[in-house]
Structure formats: structure tokens, C-alpha cells
Amino acid sequence: MTAHIWVRAENKANEKRVALVPSDAKDLIAAGFTVTVERSSQRAIPIEDYETAGCAIADEFSWPNAPADAFVLGVKYLPKGNEALPHRHIYFGHVFKDQPGWEHTLGRFAEGGGTLYDLECLVDENGRRLAAFGYWAGYAGAAVAAKVWIGQQQGHNPSITQVHDYPNRDALIAELKADLQPLDAMPSMVVIGALGRCGTGASDLGEQLGIKVSKWDMAETASGGPFPELQHHSMFVNAILAAPGVPVFVGPKDIKAPDRQLSVICDVSCDPESSYNPIPIYDHSTTFDDPVIRVLDEAVPLDVTAIDHLPSMLPKEASEDYSRQLTPVLMTLGEPEKDVWGRALDDFKKHSARI
């Protein structure tokens, strides 16, 4: 069985990613799917490439008028509003962990009779995510951490004022190496969750820059903390999702250590509003246009960066990688109540029942 997939434009500022690239859309069309792609004023991949692949083209933000049986595919959240949502949507909803506004968003689905198949909930029988931007989130997160550290060494406050996207990873690495070269010393980095997709990306970035990377995972955090060793690294990249049972890695007492060397924390998981936040020293996410929170303004400063769409720094590579992972799952969308999609549907129903 096949289905109609409607790829919507993203409304989030600086969000240039897309969940389905033209080559994979072409494969879906060859398999009998209908693929409609909205024009976008910011997507990294030109609309002409989709047209060449055989996709139908629609106006930007026209998804509310999509056919009732279409699956509306996006990456980040929908535009804010009170309108009921009658369609079946596929995107990262960020509403299943009691994040601010979760009841309102799920209420819109309840009112319209629509469904959210959260991309984070597309898992196999063992609960492992089948498609994730994790590698590129970690890679970009470590790059932002390095940028923040460089800005601190240059005496800037705020350490950086903006983050932008790059055409490819080579351009990003070249810029960072050029900025590190004149400095007197190199930073050190500790990555928690180093064995996962996200942690692997962060570690790869650090090693490509010649930074010493300490790789922590479950074995290193099994004690439950505290973890004073973290204070002896220049940068800490958190690649562990906020969830019940995750220990606090860096709390208000930890950063008062007199021998603290830690000056940059990148929280790639970026769940400051969650009660499970393992870094409870900040309370809001940061953005491309406001990327840093200064937590301590001392001789050794402490900055936190927590951007919730880091892979958009490398939107083309991140989109191609994610689309490659997601397409086999989309191929089964003709039966949206079975297997992968059935599990995601059960998650939606479970959380919707709470409102």
C-alpha cells in the first residue's frame, strides 16, 4: 500500500533542513507514492530538484489545504496558533515530555481529529530510533562549543553573538582551525553519551580539530554523580537525552568548584524545561541569533549553549543523511497502524489521553 506524503516548508527561523531529499522522493514515487513538496524561502535544497524528481509542487505553508488523506511531513514544530489540526502529521513535536505548550498542541490535534506521528517515536521492536539527526547535532554542537571557547579566549562577552549555517563540513572545519591557530593553547573536551550517534558526532568534530576528547558513556556515569572530573575540562558536550534516571551532570553546586576549568557547556539534548534536565543551571534554549547564556562572569567564565536545531548548521549533509534513514520507514506508511507507525500512534494516543 502507498500513501500521499506532503513535505511542508519549515517556519522556524534558520531551519533549512528537510526530512526528505529529492533522490529519496524519487524512489518513493517509483514505488507508487504521491509526493508533494512546498516551496520554501529557506530550505537548503532547491525546489527545482524536487520538480525534476517528479514531485508535485505546492505553495509555501499551504499544508492546511492538503488533501485530507495526506501525511504532512516536516522537521520542527508547526506555526503557533489555535486552529484545529485534522491531518496526520509527522515531525518532531517535543510535546511528550511535558514541555511548555504540550497540552495546547495536543489539544489542537484532539479538536481536529488529527494525529501526530512523532519522528522521535519511530522505533524498532527494541525501542531503537530508526532515523535520527543525532550525529549532525553532536557534530554541530561541538563546533558551537569550540566557537564559544574561542570567543572567550578572545575576551568577548558575549563570547559569540550569532551562529550561521555552512555549505558543508569542510568549510566549518576550515574556519574553526583558522580561529584556533593563533591561540596559545588548545581546549579539552568531555563528551557524555560518546557511544551514541550524537556523541560520536561531537567526538569526531573534536578530533578533527586536534582537540583532546574524553569519551564518557554509561560506565563512566554509573555512579550517579557527582562528577567533579567534568570541571577539569574546558568544554562539556552533553549528548544524553533528558529522561527518568539520568543523573545530574552539572548542577549549581558543581560550578562553584574553586579549581573549575570548565567554561563551555553545550547541551545538545536541549531540554531545559524538562524535570529530568541533567544540567539544571539554565532554564531556556538558545538560538542561532542568541546562542549563549552566560551563567558565570568570572575570571574563568561559564557559558551554556543549547540550540535545539543544531544540524541546521550543516543543513544539506544533515538532510541527506536523515532522509536516507527515514525513507525505508516511509516506504511502510501505507499501513500507518502497524509496526513502526503503530508504535508511534500508540505513543500519541497515550499522551493525548492525558489532556
Q: What CATH code is carried by the domain that includes residue 249?
A: 3.40.50.720
Q: Is 128 within a domain? A: no
> Across residues 300-323, what is the average pLDDT?
97
85: helix, strand or coil: coil
Burial class (CB in 10 A: 0-12, 13-18, 19+), 260: middle
Q: Is there a catalytic annotation at residue 76? A: yes
Cell 569519551 sits on residue: 215
In the predicted model, what is the mean pLDDT of the chain? 96
| Shared-domain flag, residues 144 and 278 | yes
Q: Is 306 within a domain? A: yes
Confidence of residue 266 (pLDDT cuts 50, 70, 90): very high
**Greater pLDDT, 99 or 104:** 104
Chain segment 118-153, per-residue pLDDT in tens: 999 999 999 999 999 999 999 999 999 999 999 999
**Greater pLDDT, 143 or 276:** 143
Q: Is there a catalytic annotation at residue 147? A: no
Chain segment 63-82, per-residue pLDDT in tens: 999 999 999 999 999 999 99
Predicted local confidence at residue 315, as pLDDT: 98
Predicted local confidence at residue 274, as pLDDT: 81
> Across residues 283-302, what is the average pLDDT?
97
71 neighbors 320 (Cβ within 8 angstroms): no
Q: Is 115 within a domain? A: yes
Catalytic residue among 12, 16, 89, 94: 94
| Shared-domain flag, residues 88 and 170 | no
| Shared-domain flag, residues 182 and 290 | yes
| Shared-domain flag, residues 74 and 33 | yes
| Shared-domain flag, residues 139 and 268 | yes
Q: Is 108 within a domain? A: yes
Q: Is 129 within a domain? A: no
Domain that holds residue 176: 134-312
Confidence of residue 242 (pLDDT cuts 50, 70, 90): confident
| Shared-domain flag, residues 306 and 171 | yes
Cell 485534522 sits on residue: 86
194 neighbors 203 (Cβ within 8 angstroms): yes
Crossing angle between the packed helical segments 134-153 and 315-330, to the nearest 10 degrees: 160
Catalytic residue among 4, 76, 97, 232: 76
Q: Count of residues for the chain?
A: 355
Confidence of residue 276 (pLDDT cuts 50, 70, 90): confident
Q: Is 17 within a domain? A: yes
278 neighbors 254 (Cβ within 8 angstroms): no
| Shared-domain flag, residues 86 and 172 | no
Taken in order 54, 57, 63, 68, is the CA torsion positive or negative? negative
Give the whole-number percent of the chain exceeding pLDDT 90: 94
Predicted local confidence at residue 10, as pLDDT: 98
> Across residues 294-319, what is the average pLDDT?
97
343 neighbors 13 (Cβ within 8 angstroms): no
Predicted local confidence at residue 226, as pLDDT: 92
Predicted local confidence at residue 100, as pLDDT: 84
| Shared-domain flag, residues 159 and 293 | yes
Q: Is 127 within a domain? A: no
Number of domains in the chain: 2
Host H or E run for residue 57: strand 56-58
Predicted local confidence at residue 178, as pLDDT: 98
Predicted local confidence at residue 98, as pLDDT: 81
> Across residues 223-227, what is the average pLDDT?
94
| Shared-domain flag, residues 273 and 294 | yes
